[in-house]
Amino acid sequence: MSSAPHVAIVGVTGAVGQEFLRVLEQRNFPIGKLTLLASARSAGKTVDFKGTTYTVKELTEDSFGDVDLALFSAGGSISKKYAPIASDAGATVVDNSSAFRMIDSVPLVVPEVNPEAVEGIELGKGGIIANPNCSTIIMLVPVTPIHRRAGVKRMVVSTYQAASGAGAAAMAELELQTSEVLAGKEPTCDIFPRQYAFNLFSHNSDIIPEHGYNEEEYKMVCETHKIWKNSDVKITATCVRVPVMRAHAESINLELEQPLDADEARQLLSEAAGVRVVDDRVGNNFPTPLEASNEDDVLVGRIRNDISREGTKVTGLDLFVCGDQVRKGAALNAVQIAELLVK
């Protein structure tokens, strides 16, 4: 574009919407005009951005008349209705919901992994681009360099997912429950049907009757196949909610087609975009959600050979990763996609 784009943020008052603003400012994303959109309930609120106070407007079908870029984080039902309207009006949409991820014609993008997927899309000329699921993003940023080098044949992942993945209300309830339980009171359980503080439980997404995986787990399988353009890789996932405020953790076991030992993998990851290796065996210092919170990079550690595999060649690796769900798992990834379009 010859001039800075008109940017709209849909769902600006939510946790990811607020993170959009922080990321846009920190990365100095070019903005000619900014429109902040939310539900009728939030319309009229004020938000500060780069020293200017903006008034949040109600999202309507007429909100996108001269918008070049629309960043959506308002839930699947809102995206399904309004993203096509925005695209038809000429806005290029980057959507954070699951609404369009598995539609063949919609690119599903992690900029460190498949930036070529947005080729041919011009900012301000319409189109929808999907942000993957947060757990998929956090997994693929470190695993993809290994896949490129040695070929992932099978991947087993277990996630430990923070309250941030369920939004600002879940984060607030975890904080409230913690104080209630410590005070000997019954915990307030409005967001989840069970106690979250000092507890963990299977991810709250719906169970798919055909195979028993929940939707979060199955997203990781299907989205990886689409992003890698390879449905032959075998993937299984178990997703769990843990009482962490922000940043997801994942334990990843890889079966590789070609030999790659832990030392080689560690060096490879130390050079990978979007990755920071935290792998101090002597000091027993490895990634934690707290350390990953508010960070752009996915932290990777516990890099080790899988000793359960037989043979002299190392074709199995274990990793432990942590990434900020609100940031790299959502807002940052979307802004990085937008940056691909303004270059």
Catalytic positions, please? 134, 248
* Residue partners of 141: CB distance under 8 A and separation at least 6: 110, 112, 113, 272, 274, 275, 298, 323, 328
Contact 164, 191 (CB under 8 A): no
